[in-house]
């Protein structure tokens, strides 16, 4: 019968099913793939050389008014529009200079039209950069973008040209003169990022800074069972119950002579400048751990005066090891600062560290507010 093919189609099972667990599409959110330290080296960029050119101004218009029964209408060419600027704008969502290109140019202004119509101005080119970006030209700092939304005009756009209407005078009733638009400003700037964080983890390689940051925040710097050092700074956010957030930066491990640029020392030390207080991380398992603190303070002081005098706390890591228990008592006798013994591996005594970290943060906020300044918020 003619209804047989349709009946067979209705009775046959569908080719797919949305209720079957095996056939239905997995709607769960996939977790982000973990990025290795080698990949982070490519993604994190703290220096960039940028060539910026402002937009060219539009040419002035050249025309004469034409209307029935009005023979001598006079000049009516309008001025050209100004070129757009190239503007650097600090954005707290940006964490690296990797998304900043090597060249930027503002939009050009439009040519002046007839009937005294001015040309439109060129749109500004906004370039988002991380908070804490230094703008240098020929080695001199020309801008320091430390606040969210702060802007700096990197290249001014050129002025628009004058139309022949502009040159109208009693002596010259029919000017044919008009001027072209001016070219935009051209500059070569060096962008340098200094990590803006509340606290900085300072220590020698393999002291356990990355493991400690993983233990107190959701940051995932690379760690392993073999000795190696972090290549790029990582910033982790410590969340508290009152919704306050403290940013902790894992500064790559320093070496002796870092202030003389040994082992990429300058590239590491510049990130410590913006930290409001310091967390010295010492390895308690090595002999005489207090000598690490002396060497670290010497490197900081040799790089910048009074850098080692900022509010700080000494963190003795790897307290879960047997030798560390013995060195801990000796360390507290040798140093005058407060010593907090923790284990980033087992999580021992992390509560005391988090409480003291909040005390340092509250002190920083009160100090900034008493001086009429706004503290850095994350």
Mean pLDDT by runs of 10 across the 378 residues of the chain is 52 49 46 49 72 94 81 84 95 85 94 88 93 89 90 95 86 85 94 82 83 83 51 78 87 59 56 84 87 85 82 90 85 88 88 92 91 78
Query: What HEC string does 272-337 produce?
Result: CCCCCEEEEEEECCCCCCHHHHHHHHHHHHHHCCCCCCCCEEEEEECCCCHHHHHHHHHHHHHCCC
Q: Which residues pair with 52 in a beta bridge?
A: 104, 187
In angstroms, the Cα distances linking 353 to 128, 282, 360 are: 35, 14, 11
Q: Do domains 47-193 and 199-371 have the same CATH topology?
A: no
pLDDT score, position 41:
46
pLDDT score, position 375:
80
35: exposed, middle or buried (C-beta count within 10 Å: 0-12, 13-18, 19+)? middle
- State the greatest distance between any 2 C-alpha atoms of the chain, in Å, as a whole number: 106
The pTM of the full predicted model, rounded to 2 decimals, is 0.66
Question: In the CATH hierarchy, which top-level class contains the domain 199-371?
Answer: alpha beta
Strands of the 245-250 sheet, one edge to the other = 234-239, 245-250, 199-202, 277-283, 312-317, 339-341
pLDDT score, position 28:
46
pLDDT score, position 226:
39
Question: In the CATH hierarchy, which top-level class contains the domain 47-193?
Answer: mainly beta
Domain ranges of the chain: 47-193, 199-371
* 178 vs 276: CA distance, rounded Å: 57
* 105 vs 56: CA distance, rounded Å: 9
At CA 92, angle to CA 47 and CA 217, rounded to 5?
95
pLDDT score, position 8:
52
Are 200 and 249 a contacting pair, CB within 8 Å? yes
φ, ψ for residue 87, nearest 5 deg = -125, 130
Give the three-state DSSP class for 45.
coil
């Amino acid at each position: 019968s003619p209804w047989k093919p349709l009946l067979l189609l209705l009775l046959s099972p569908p080719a797919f099913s949305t209720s079957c667990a095996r056939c239905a599409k997995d709607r769960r959110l996939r977790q982000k793939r973990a990025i290795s330290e080698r990949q982070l080296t490519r993604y994190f960029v703290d220096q960039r050389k940028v060539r910026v050119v402002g937009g060219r101004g539009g040419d002035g218009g050249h025309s004469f008014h034409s209307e029935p029964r009005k023979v001598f209408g006079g000049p009516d060419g309008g001025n050209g529009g100004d070129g757009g600027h190239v503007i650097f704008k600090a954005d707290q969502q940006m964490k690296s200079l990797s998304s900043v290109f090597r060249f930027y140019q503002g939009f050009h202004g439009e040519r002046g039209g007839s009937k005294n119509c001015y040309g439109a101005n060129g749109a500004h080119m906004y370039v988002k950069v991380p908070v804490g970006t230094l703008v240098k030209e020929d080695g001199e700092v020309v801008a320091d973008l430390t606040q969210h939304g702060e802007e700096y005009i990197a290249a001014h756009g050129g002025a628009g040209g004058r139309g022949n209407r502009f040159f109208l005078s009693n002596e010259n009733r029919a000017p044919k003169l008009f001027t072209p638009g001016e070219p935009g400003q051209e500059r070569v700037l060096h962008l340098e990022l200094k990590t803006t964080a509340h606290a900085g983890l300072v220590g020698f390689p393999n002291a356990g800074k990355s493991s400690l940051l993983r233990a107190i925040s959701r940051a995932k710097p690379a760690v392993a069972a073999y000795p190696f050092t972090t290549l790029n700074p990582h910033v982790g956010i410590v969340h508290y119950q009152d919704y306050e957030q403290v940013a902790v930066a894992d500064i790559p491990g320093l070496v002796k002579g870092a202030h003389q640029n040994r082992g990429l020392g300058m590239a590491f030390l510049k990130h410590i400048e913006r930290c409001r207080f310091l967390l010295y991380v010492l390895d308690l398992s090595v002999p005489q751990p207090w000598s690490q603190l002396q060497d670290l303070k010497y490197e900081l002081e040799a790089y910048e005066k009074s850098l080692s005098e900022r509010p700080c706390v000494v963190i003795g890591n790897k307290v879960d090891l047997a030798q560390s228990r013995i060195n801990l008592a000796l360390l507290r006798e040798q140093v005058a600062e407060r010593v907090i013994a923790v284990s980033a591996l087992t999580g021992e005594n992390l509560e005391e560290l988090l409480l003291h970290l909040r005390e340092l943060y509250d002190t920083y906020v009160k100090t900034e507010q008493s001086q009429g300044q706004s503290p850095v918020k994350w």
